[in-house]
Amino acid sequence: MSERPKSEDIAISVVMPAYMEAGAVGEVVGRVAAIMRETGKSFEILVVDDGSPDGTAEAAAAAGARVVSHPYNMGNGAAVKTGIRNARGQDILLMDADGQHPPEDIPRLLEKLDHFDLVVGARSGESETSAHRDLANRTYNGLASYVSGRKIDDLTSGFRAVKGHVAREFVNLLPNTFSYPSTLTLAVVRSGYSLHYVPIRSRKRTGKSKIRLLTDGSRFFLIILKIATVFSPMKIFLPVSGAMFLVGLFWGLYKVLFLDSRYGPTSAMFMTVAVLVFLVGLVSEQVTQLRFDHLSRDPVVKELPPAGADEKEEKE
């Protein structure tokens, strides 16, 4: 039996979350393995079976992938987190197991990973995607661009290469649902890591999509708000505070000038609450900064003596 490879011997871990993909995962694994061999990098293909009852795990293993299985369906994001935690490679490539992400684009992402912390395959206009999803993605991209302060080309793309230490740093922040790409992208940008987009032509997936437009769409929107309050709270609190203050101010002026010449308690309430919202945002911003100061500290590493040093000291 061959010895299990050490993590430092593997350059890239290709992580594929899979649920009910028995008909596609074997072919995808084979194509990915062929492409990875051409890159000349050492690699492993890790398929995380999210409790599939259709033989997805068996099909992936037969194609040569290393398989980790959930006991039941826990969610796409949960499968990605399991993959990141079990990946032995120095860097991680995330992609779907349904065939919509072209393995031929893998070398392009890995090439850019030498210069960036996160490289995302951004779906171009030629991708085989539906019109309503394109519209939703444009909306999400616009909101994410506002929150992050930089242009986001494709917030929800699951085809991405990321430095291993970056993925492991944020793994606990990722949700268990399909919205994990949104969280990872915004966390990376807000933390000061570098992000790059590579245009790709996404193909139509094999089988039926697991994403539900209304349910998962509203979840994506809430995830953006959640990440905004975690990483850039003033992006949310400041506009809300400003809007409430202006409502109170103009309603008060309207009453004074055109109604009963009294400012009124409603205007005072709006303006007072606006100040409180602003102060809460200010405190949240300081807490966020302290959090990032803590993350940026170099970890304390205890240097262990070389193997056999204790025995040598005893003999002496």
Distance, in Å, from the CA atom of 197 to the CA atom of 160, rounded to the nearest integer, reads 9
pLDDT at 118: 96
Torsion angle, CA of 26/27/33/36, rounded to 10 degrees?
A: -140
Q: Which amino acid is at 237?
A: F
pLDDT at 312: 46
Per the prediction, the chain carries an average pLDDT of 82
pLDDT at 285: 81
Tell me the percentage of the chain whose pLDDT exceeds 90.
46
User: Domain residue spans in the chain?
Assistant: 7-231, 234-296
CATH topology for the 7-231 domain: Spore Coat Polysaccharide Biosynthesis Protein SpsA; Chain A (3.90.550)
The pLDDT of 107-127, averaged and rounded, is: 88
DSSP secondary structure string for all residues of 140-174: HHHHHHHHHTS--S-SS---EEEEHHHHHHHGGGS
Q: What stretch of H or E contains 122?
A: strand 118-123
pLDDT at 180: 85
Residue 224 scores a pLDDT above 70: no
pLDDT at 220: 64
Residue 227 scores a pLDDT above 90: no
pLDDT tens track for 173-216: 888 876 788 889 988 888 889 999 999 887 665 555 545 555 55
The pLDDT of 9-20, averaged and rounded, is: 94
Residue 274 scores a pLDDT above 60: yes
111 vs 2 pLDDT, higher one: 111
3-state secondary structure 100-115: CCCHHHHHHHHHHHCC
pLDDT at 298: 44
pLDDT at 1: 35
Of these ranges, 150-154, 159-163, 298-302, the one predicted with the greatest mean pLDDT is 159-163
The pLDDT of 222-247, averaged and rounded, is: 82
pLDDT at 259: 78
The pLDDT of 24-45, averaged and rounded, is: 95
